[in-house]
């Protein structure tokens, strides 16, 4: 695959995340509609540019179980991470609260549905199924994992929220390793979607 087919989609992702998170542009959009549209654009880009991406879907009870279990494990990682980060960083709680403020005054049922059926699946198809796999094809398994994980975290830098960037890094490592050892998007999508809904709506870490 040519460099353009890797670089251009990543640039699109960086621009979209800039529009959603930067202090200069975020007030122009409804965040939840913006992220749903942005994730959908990235997913469609991935499917169009890499037509074999649909072969990475392998449904089974085991895949569903792995997805649900990994979502629970990641939630616990964040629960412990929230506790220890609050001890280490004075600003941690304020920044985490700033993330949760994004849902204030919004319909949480609609947000949960969006996380489960749009944002979670779309992000995994793009970041792991497309970006990480393309880097793997070009540079190798571990190099692909590292590059995709770092870029996934860095596109969140426009938020100027250290805790959000670190959260993205942890998630990128977690899901990136899952993909590294099992090229099946089904457990990844379930893990991402369920974790999103759990940490933001069902069982927020406050």
Q: Report the pLDDT value the prediction gives residue 4, as an integer from 0 to 100.
A: 83
**How far, CA to CA in Å, does 181 sit from each of 56, 176, 203?**
13, 9, 29
* Cα three-residue angle 183-184-189, rounded to 5 degrees: 125
The answer to whether 185 and 129 are in contact (CB under 8 A) is yes
> pLDDT digits over 69-116, tens only?
999 999 999 999 999 999 999 999 999 999 999 999 999 999 999 999
> pLDDT digits over 174-191, tens only?
999 999 999 999 999 999
Side-chain-side CA neighbours of residue 127 (13 Å)? 34
In sequence order, what DSSP letters do the residues of 116-147 get, joined into one string?
A: IIIIHHHHHIIIIIIIIHHHHHHH-HHHHHHH
Six token digits for residue 49: 């540019």
Q: Report the pLDDT value the prediction gives residue 3, as an integer from 0 to 100.
A: 81
Instruction: Specify the pTM.
Output: 0.95
d(CA 9, CA 7): 6
> pLDDT digits over 39-79, tens only?
999 999 999 999 899 899 999 999 999 999 999 999 999 99
The answer, yes or no, to whether residue 1 has pLDDT greater than 90, is: no
């Amino acid at each position: 695959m040519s460099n353009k087919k890797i670089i251009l989609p990543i640039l699109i992702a960086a621009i979209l995340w800039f529009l959603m998170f930067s202090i200069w542009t975020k007030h122009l959009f409804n965040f939840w509609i913006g992220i749903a549209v942005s994730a959908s654009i990235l997913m469609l880009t991935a499917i169009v540019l890499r037509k074999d991406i649909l072969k990475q879907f392998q449904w089974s009870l085991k895949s569903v179980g792995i997805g649900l279990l990994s979502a629970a494990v990641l939630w616990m990682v964040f629960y412990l991470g929230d506790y220890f980060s609050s001890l280490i960083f004075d600003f941690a709680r304020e920044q985490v609260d700033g993330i949760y403020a994004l849902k204030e005054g919004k319909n949480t049922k609609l947000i949960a549905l969006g996380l489960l059926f749009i944002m979670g699946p779309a992000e995994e198809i793009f970041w792991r199924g497309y970006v990480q796999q393309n880097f793997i094809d070009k540079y190798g398994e571990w190099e692909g994992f590292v590059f995709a994980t770092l870029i996934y975290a860095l596109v969140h830098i426009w938020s100027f929220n250290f805790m959000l960037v670190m959260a993205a890094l942890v998630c990128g490592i977690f899901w990136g390793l899952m993909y590294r050892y099992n090229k099946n998007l089904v457990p990844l999508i379930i893990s991402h979607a369920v974790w999103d809904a759990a940490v933001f709506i069902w069982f927020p870490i406050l």
